[in-house]
Structure 1
Amino acid sequence: MLYLIVRALLIPLVRLIYRPVIEGRSNVPMRGPVILASNHLSFFDSIVIPLMAPRRVVFLTKAEYFQGRGLRGRLVRWFFTAIGSVPVQRGANRAAQASLDAALEVLTAGDAFGIYPEGTRSLDGRLYRGRTGVGWLALTARVPVVPVALKGTDRIQPVGNRLPRISRVTIRFGTPLHFGPEHGEATSAMDRRRATDEIVRAIGALSGQEYAASYNDPAKV
């Protein structure tokens, strides 16, 4: 119920202020488990996708977003709780696998799960090599993967800016990708890499971003 109230309140507001261009919403299955795999440019991405998608999308969200102080911290915590985001710790391999297991639970329940294959925000606008967690998830769950491309969210809240700016955004939902047994197994590193690369290529075809053949390391940008 809280989720429906949040959408009813925020969707008209977001449409009025940011005038989002939304393409391909019909590509997102309205029922059943599905993965939405998106590029990642801004904190705002995790707001615009759940609001503009035609169905509820669950993201794993950094635990830090649930631990903020002050009015802003409370608002951020309330929003992510309201839309059903799941807080996770980042870092060690064990934490990464726990995150994937939590994602698999979301899909097993028949829900839509959102993921950023790059792992973290791109600071220079390029599309970085995908982490193979998304490949593992696609090959394990055997559910459709909808590539998603966001444009303009980096102008709304550039890294380091506390307050959002007003700028038009575009969100494109691509044709679902399917990973059946012929695509290999999640236990194979090579199969996970191939599936991940196919997903990232589909995202890049929608976003038009320059591709960086390395992993995203913000410390080096």
Structure 2
Amino acid sequence: MLRIFSVAYWAFIGVSCVVFFAGAVLVWLVTLPFDRRRVVLHLYSSAWASFYVYVNPLWRLRVTGRDRAPRHGAAVLVANHASLIDILVLFALFRPFKWVSKQEIFQVPLIGWNMRLNDYVPLVRGSADSVRRMMDHCDRLLAAGSPVMIFPEGRRTSDGELLPFKDGAFELAVRHQVPVVPIAVHGTRRALPRHGLVLRDHVDVHVEVLPPIDPGDDTQALRESARTSIASALTRP
């Protein structure tokens, strides 16, 4: 039954994305003259993504600490990454951040096109040139007052263990002197494993926004402080 439901669910997403993308284009056109940071479009995209979470009867989502994620002003948001649906549930924060995401997602019809409309940040894993372009893009966004959302592990964990964090997110925070906001995402690996698209049985997902960390001037210390905060949160039920 789960296989049948999974096929129906992904098919529903594929078909409904056409309607949602048409709405995104309309929002983009209407707000472009006065919304240079595309906040309204991002909030529309947040509703689009969250819709797929809340209509799925197998998933129950709880968000705590949302007020710690900034509504205004630049910040670097960092979250652990265990599943494809991390992206959907983090959109449910409804905060005006810009995603840093792998280049392949930008090539997906409709969803990837919407990411470009939002001015999200593409990254080719393993490419030094792409990393430089990503950092430059994030520099521009942070300077304009937009928070950025980064998975500092760089890829999804295969066994549920938190991977080492890369420096990029924390270099940005130190350079711009903006807070790092750690976010612990619980339960998504059980909802959808790294390999395969067959949904699991009922799962409670919890997005926990943790206390912001002052950037200071030590990238490595900031990186380890953020990782420790998320690792500690993930050990709690």
1:31 aligns with 72
The percentage of aligned residue pairs carrying the same residue is 29
Equivalence map 1:170-209=2 (5 Å): 170-180=206-216, 184=217, 191-208=218-235
Equivalent-residue separation in structure 2 for 1:173 and 1:76 (angstroms):
25
1:214 aligns with none
Q: How many residues align?
A: 194
1:41 aligns with 82
Which deviates more from structure 2 when the two are superposed, residues 91-100 or residues 54-63? 91-100
Q: 1:3-38 CA distances to partner (integer Å, 9 max, x unpaired)?
A: 344434443442342220111001112110011111
Equivalence map 1:1-221=2 (5 Å): 1=27, 3=41, 4-17=43-56, 18-49=59-90, 51-67=91-107, 73-78=108-113, 80-81=115-116, 84-165=119-200, 167-180=203-216, 184=217, 191-208=218-235
- Does structure 2 retain, via aligned residues, the 8 Å contact 1:119–1:131? yes
- Does structure 1 retain, via aligned residues, the 8 Å contact 2:47–2:92? no
**Alpha-carbon distance, 1:81 to partner:** 4.1
Which secondary structure does the structure 2 equivalent of 1:155 belong to? helix
Which secondary structure does the structure 2 equivalent of 1:159 belong to? coil
Cα distance change, pair 48–64 in 1 and its aligned pair in 2 (3 A): same
Structure 1: state its 5+ residue gaps.
Answer: 68-72, 185-190, 210-221
Structure 2: state its 5+ residue gaps.
Answer: 1-26, 29-40
**Alpha-carbon distance, 1:163 to partner:** 4.9
Q: 1:25-79 CA distances to partner (integer Å, 9 max, x unpaired)?
A: 0111211001111111112212221x21131221121111122xxxxx4244245
Structure index of larger Rg? 2
Q: 1:141-193 CA distances to partner (integer Å, 9 max, x unpaired)?
A: 1111110000111123212213545632110001111113xxx3xxxxxx322
Equivalent-residue separation in structure 2 for 1:179 and 1:7 (angstroms):
27
Which secondary structure does the structure 2 equivalent of 1:20 belong to? strand
Letter in 2 for 1:192: T
- Does structure 2 retain, via aligned residues, the 8 Å contact 1:145–1:176? yes
